[in-house]
């Protein structure tokens, strides 16, 4: 079908949909190179003004093409499709996945500074900002703020908090979890602040799967500070949540 000539507009729309679905199925089966070919073929059948008239399809195809490129380590191609999504997306929510692909691409290439900086740019667009070069005192103040936020809530009761519902909060905690590891190597104080923010976000906005990572890291930090019992309890709770997130 993809090699057909002189096809109508309606037939092109069908081919776009078929290639998108085939690409998603191939990606799910870990056939990333094949998935990329399907997504690119789908893009070729879009209208010339597809960013205006086929906006949702364009976002999905270009974003998936970028992700497939990342998954089979074609890092040069990632940027081509990410740039197009970021240039044409109408809101931050439609840009998030492309930004995440860029972040993970940088980290995969050991470009930790670029990955961290990209994540911080995204977080600022979501209303979450951090000092550029935080000192230890700022991290300590963030820890105190986190302890005050949790208050007298029993650690084990944190697992009973409602689930996170807002897409904006899900996006934020995902980005936070993705840039915490590179921050560990580049700016340890900022890494601490990222973890504390994830814990507060989980407490205020509800549980997300990334909360397990946040609670486990928070537990390790508490152990380093000599709060062995509380640190163990946070780690144990994270394990229970990970094994039974429902």
What per-residue confidence (pLDDT) applies to 204? 96
Cα–Cα nearest to 214, from 246, 167, 169: 169
Answer whether 168's CB lies under 8 Å from 219's CB: no
Cα–Cα nearest to 46, from 37, 34, 55: 55
- Average confidence score pLDDT of the chain: 94
Answer whether 109's CB lies under 8 Å from 125's CB: no
Residue 12's φ and ψ, nearest 5 degrees, are -60, -40
Query: Above 90 in pLDDT, residue 10?
Result: no
Distance CA 194, CA 173 (A): 9
Of the chain, the percentage scoring pLDDT greater than 70 comes to 97
Distance CA 161, CA 214 (A): 15
Burial (CB < 10 A; 0-12, 13-18, 19+), residue 124, is: exposed
What per-residue confidence (pLDDT) applies to 62? 97
Residue 8's pLDDT band (cuts 50, 70, 90)? confident
Those residues with Cβ within 8 angstroms of residue 242's Cβ, 6 or more apart along the chain or in another chain: 209, 212
pLDDT 10s digits, 216-243 = 999 999 999 999 999 999 999 999 998 8
CB atoms under 10 Å from CB of 76, counted, come to 8
What per-residue confidence (pLDDT) applies to 245? 65
What per-residue confidence (pLDDT) applies to 11? 87
Query: Above 90 in pLDDT, residue 1?
Result: no
- pTM tops 0.95, yes or no: no
Residue 53's φ and ψ, nearest 5 degrees, are -100, -15
Distance CA 203, CA 224 (A): 22
What per-residue confidence (pLDDT) applies to 236? 94
Query: Above 80 in pLDDT, residue 195?
Result: yes
Answer whether 221's CB lies under 8 Å from 234's CB: no
């Amino acid at each position: 079908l993809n090699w057909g000539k002189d096809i109508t507009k309606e037939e092109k729309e069908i081919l776009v949909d078929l290639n998108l679905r085939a690409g998603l199925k191939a990606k799910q089966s870990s056939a990333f190179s094949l998935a990329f070919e399907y997504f690119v073929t789908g893009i070729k059948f879009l209208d010339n003004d597809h960013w205006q008239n086929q906006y949702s399809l364009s976002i999905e195809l270009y974003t998936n093409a970028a992700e497939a490129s990342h998954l089979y380590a074609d890092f040069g191609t990632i940027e081509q499709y990410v740039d197009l999504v970021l240039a044409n997306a109408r809101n931050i929510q439609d840009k998030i996945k492309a930004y995440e692909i860029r972040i993970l691409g940088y980290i995969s290439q050991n470009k930790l500074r670029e990955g961290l900086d990209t994540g911080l740019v995204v977080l600022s667009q979501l209303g979450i900002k951090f000092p550029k070069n935080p000192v230890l005192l700022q991290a300590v103040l963030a820890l105190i703020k986190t302890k005050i936020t949790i208050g007298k809530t029993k650690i084990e009761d944190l697992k009973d908090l409602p689930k996170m519902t807002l897409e904006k909060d899900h996006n934020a905690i995902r980005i936070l979890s993705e840039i915490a590891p590179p921050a560990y190597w580049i700016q340890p104080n900022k890494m601490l602040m990222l973890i504390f923010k994830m814990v507060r976000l989980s407490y205020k906005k509800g549980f997300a799967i990334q909360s397990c990572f946040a609670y486990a890291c928070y537990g390790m930090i508490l152990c380093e500070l000599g709060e062995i019992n509380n640190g163990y309890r946070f780690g144990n709770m994270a394990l229970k949540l990970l094994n039974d997130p429902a």
